[in-house]
Chain A
Amino acid sequence: MKVTYNWLKDFVNITLNPKELAEKLTLAGLEVVSLKESSGDSVLEIEITSNRPDWLSIAGIAREVGAITGVKFDMGRFNRLKAKAGSKRRIEISVANEKDCPFYSATVIQGVKVAPSPDWLRKRLESLGCRSINNIVDITNYILFELGQPLHAFDLDALKRPFVAVRRARPEEKIITLDGRQVVLNQEILVIADQDRPVAVAGIMGGKETEVTLDTRNILLESAVFDPVLVRKGRQKTGLQSESAYRFERGVDLKGAKTASLAAQELIRKLAGGKVFSYGSAGASEPSSTTIKVKMSQINSLLGVNVPVLKAKQILSRLGFFVKVKPKETLLVKVPSFRQDVKSYVDVIEEVARIYGYNKIPMSLPAVKPSQSQDGARSSISEVKRVLSALGLNEVITYSLVDRNLLAKSGIGQELAPLEVLNPLSKEQEVLRYSLLPSLIKTVAYNLDQKQECVSIFEVADIFLPSRECPREEASLGIALCGTRSLFLERGLVKDEVGILHIKGILETVFRRLGVGGYSFKPTGNGRVSVVAGRDEAGYMLDLNEQVLAAFGIKNKKIVCAEIRINKLVSAGIPEKKFSGIPRYPAIGRDISFLVKDDISVEDILAEIRTRASSLLSSSRIIDYYQGKQIPSGFRALTISCEYRDKDRTLTEEEVSPLHDALCAGLENKFGIRLRQA
Chain B
Amino acid sequence: MDINAIQAQLEDDLSAASSAQDIEAIRVKYLGRKGVLADLTGAIGSLPPEERGVFGREVNALKLRITESVSSRLNALNIKASISDKKETDIGLPGIAQELGSSHPIVQVIEEICGIFARMGFSVLEGPEIETEFNNFTGLNIPLDHPSRDAFDTFYLKDYPKLLLRSHTSPMQVRVMKNRKPPLAIVVPGRVYRPDAVDASHLFMFHQIEGLLVDENIKFSDLKGVLEFFAKSVFGSDIKMRFRPHFFPFTEPSAEVDISCIMCKGKGCSVCGRKGWLEILGAGMVHPNVFKHAGYEKGKFTGFAFGMGVERIAMLKYGINDIRLFFENDLRFLKQF
A228–B146 Cα gap in the complex (Å)?
Answer: 8
In the assembled complex, which residues on chain A have CB atoms less than 8 Å from the CB atom of B163?
470-471
A424 touches B195 (CB 8 A): yes
- Beta-carbon contact of A366 and B218 below 8 Å: yes
Is the beta-carbon distance between A250 and B147 smaller than 8 angstroms? yes
At the interface, yes or no: B49 with Cβ under 8 Å from chain A? no
The count of A-to-B residue pairs whose CB atoms sit within 8 angstroms is: 247
Q: Are A378 and B121 in contact (CB under 8 A)?
A: no
List chain B residues, Cβ under 8 A from A212.
none
Interface of chain B residues 60 through 100 with chain A (CB within 8 A): 94-96, 98-100
Binds B, one of A109-117, A392-400, A623-631: A392-400
- Pick 10 A–B contacts, CB within 8 A, sort by A: A52-B247, A366-B219, A368-B122, A369-B121, A370-B121, A391-B101, A394-B334, A396-B329, A397-B107, A400-B205
List the A side residues contacting B124 at CB < 8 Å.
374-375, 378
Which of B107, B121, B195 lies in contact with A395, CB distance below 8 A?
B107
Whether the pair B246, A29 counts as a contact (CB closer than 8 A) is yes
Q: Is the CB of B244 within 8 A of A369?
A: no
Bound: A455/B302 CA distance, A = 50
Residues of B236-286 contacting chain A, CB below 8 A: 242-247, 249, 252-256, 285
Q: Does B326 contact A (CB under 8 A)?
A: yes
- Give Cα A361–Cα B94 distance, bound, in whole angstroms: 58
- Asked if A421 contacts B129 (CB within 8 A), the reply is no
Q: Are A464 and B130 closer than 8 Å at their CB atoms?
A: yes
In the complex, the answer to whether B244 meets A390 with C-beta atoms within 8 Å is no
Return the chain A residue nearest B120 by Cβ: A368
Q: Smallest CB-CB separation from A355: which chain B residue?
A: B245
The answer to whether B221 touches A390, judged by C-beta atoms less than 8 angstroms apart, is no
| Distance (whole angstroms) from the CB of B224 to the closest CB of chain A | 4
- A residues 441-472 touching B (CB-CB < 8 Å): 443, 446-447, 450, 452, 455-457, 461-462, 464, 470-471
With A423-B156, A446-B330 as known contacts, state yes or no: A395 contacts B213, CB within 8 Å. no
> How far, in whole Å, are A229 and B145 apart by their CA atoms in the complex?
6
Interface of A, helix, strand, loop or mixed by DSSP: mixed
Given the known inter-chain contacts A27-B244, A378-B126, A397-B107, please indicate yes or no for A50 contacting B96, CB distance below 8 A. Answer: no
- A360-398 vs B, Cβ < 8 Å mask (1 yes, 0 no): 011111101111011100100010010011111111111
Q: Interface size class for chain A?
A: 35 or more
Q: Which residues of B contact A371 (CB under 8 A)?
A: 121, 123, 183-185
Residues of B within 8 A of A443 (CB): 329
Assembled-state Cα–Cα distance A112/B60 (Å): 137
Given known contacts A396-B329, A450-B332, is B130 in contact with A473 (CB within 8 Å)? yes
A195 at the interface (CB under 8 A from B): no
Q: Is the CB of B327 within 8 A of A398?
A: yes
B261 to chain A, nearest CB (A): 15
Closest to B143 in A: A229
B158 near A420: Cβ-Cβ < 8 Å: yes
Known A-B contacts A346-B253, A446-B330, A447-B330; A473 and B128 likewise in contact (beta carbons under 8 Å): yes
A85 within 8 A of B: no
The reply on B41 being an interface residue by CB < 8 A is no
Of all chain A residues, which has the CB nearest B164?
A: A422
Residues 161 to 197 of chain B near chain A (Cβ within 8 Å): 163, 165, 183-185, 191, 193, 195-197
Stretch of A94-102, A154-162, A301-309 with 4 or more beta carbons under 8 angstroms from chain B: A301-309
**B234 on the interface (CB 8 Å rule)?**
no
Instruction: Please pick, from A250, A350, A366, A368, the residue contacting B254 in the complex, using a CB distance under 8 A.
Output: A350
A364 contact from B146, B195, B219, B332, Cβ within 8 A: B219
Complex: A623 Cα to B246 Cα, angstroms:
67
Contacts of B101 in A (CB 8 A): 388-395, 456
A368 surroundings in chain B (CB, below 8 A): 120-122, 183, 185, 213
- The answer to whether A249 touches B157 (Cβ under 8 A) is no
| In the complex, per-residue mask of B43-57: 1 if CB is within 8 Å of any chain A CB, else 0 | 000000000000000
Nearest-neighbour CB distance to chain B for A32, whole angstroms, equals 9
The answer to whether A359 and B121 touch across the interface, beta carbons within 8 angstroms, is: no
Q: Is A419 an interface residue (CB 8 A)?
A: yes
A489 interfacial by beta-carbon distance below 8 Å = yes
* Complex Cα–Cα for A49 and B253 (A): 13
Q: Which of A31, A358, A390, A419 contacts B243 (CB 8 A)?
A: A358
Per DSSP, chain B at the interface is mixed
Whole-angstrom distance between the Cβ of A100 and the nearest chain B Cβ: 14
Please state if B219 and A396 are interface contacts (CB–CB under 8 Å): no
Within 8 A of B (CB), among A386-416: 388-401
CA A391 – CA B130 in complex, angstroms? 33
B151 within 8 A of A: yes
Assembled-state Cα–Cα distance A349/B328 (Å):
46
Report the bound CA distance from A210 to B121 in whole Å.
66
The smallest beta-carbon distance between B154 and chain A, in angstroms, is: 8
Q: How far is the CA of A26 from the CA of B256 in the complex (A)?
A: 11
Q: Are B130 and A363 in contact (CB under 8 A)?
A: no
- CB of B100 within 8 A of CB of A420, answer no
Are B99 and A392 neighbours in the complex by a CB distance under 8 Å? yes
- Identify A51's interface contact among B122, B145, B247, B255, CB under 8 A: B247
Is A346 a contact of B156 with CB atoms below 8 Å?
no
CB pair B331 A302 closer than 8 Å: no
CB closest chain-B residue, reference A417:
B159
B125 within 8 A of A: yes
Report yes or no: A346 in contact with B287, Cβ–Cβ below 8 A: yes
Q: Across the interface, name the chain A residue whose C-beta is closest to B156.
A: A422
> Which residues on the A side are within 8 Å of B196 (C-beta)?
425
Given A350-B254, A366-B215, A422-B157, verify A361-B220 contact (CB < 8 Å). yes
Any A CB within 8 A of the CB of B106:
yes
A232–B144 alpha-carbon span in the complex (Å): 11
Q: Which residues of A contact B335 (CB under 8 A)?
A: 394
Which chain B positions have C-beta within 8 A of A51? 148, 247, 249
Say if the beta carbon of B150 comes within 8 Å of chain A: yes
Contact of A304 among B94, B106, B219, B287 (CB under 8 A): B219
Q: Please tell me which one of the listed residues A228, A305, A488 contacts residue B221 in the complex, with CB atoms under 8 A apart.
A: A305
Contacts of B104 in A (CB 8 A): 395-397
With A27-B244, A49-B247 in contact, do A302 and B285 touch (Cβ < 8 Å)? yes
CB distance from A274 to the nearest CB of B (A): 36
Docked pose: A443 CA to B285 CA in angstroms: 42
Among the listed B146, B242, B247, B256, which residue makes an inter-chain contact with A359, where contact means beta carbons less than 8 Å apart?
Answer: B242
- Given the complex, which residues of A lie within 8 Å of B13, measured CB to CB? none
Bound together, the chains give a CA A429 to CA B158 distance in angstroms of 13
Query: In the complex, what distance in Å separates the CA atom of A83 from the CA atom of B101?
Result: 78
- Identify which of residues 538-589 in chain A touch chain B, using a CB-to-CB cut-off of 8 Å: none
Which among B145, B159, B327, B330 is the interface contact of A397 at CB below 8 angstroms? B327
Apart from the given pairs A392-B101, A399-B327, 6 other A-B contacts in the complex at a CB distance below 8 Å: A302-B285, A358-B244, A361-B243, A366-B215, A400-B191, A447-B330
Shortest CB distance A416–B (Å) = 14
B99 touches A366 (CB 8 A): no
Closest to B108 in A: A395
Contacts of A361 in B (CB 8 A): 220-221, 224, 243
- Closest approach, in angstroms, between the C-beta of A190 and any C-beta of chain B? 14
> How far, in angstroms, from A361 to B151 measured CA to CA in the complex?
28
A353 interface residue per 8 A CB criterion? yes
Asked if residues B193 and A401 are in contact (CB atoms below 8 Å), the reply is yes
CB of B130 within 8 A of CB of A353, answer no
Chain A: CB-nearest residue to B217: A301
A416 CA / B204 CA spacing, docked (Å):
24
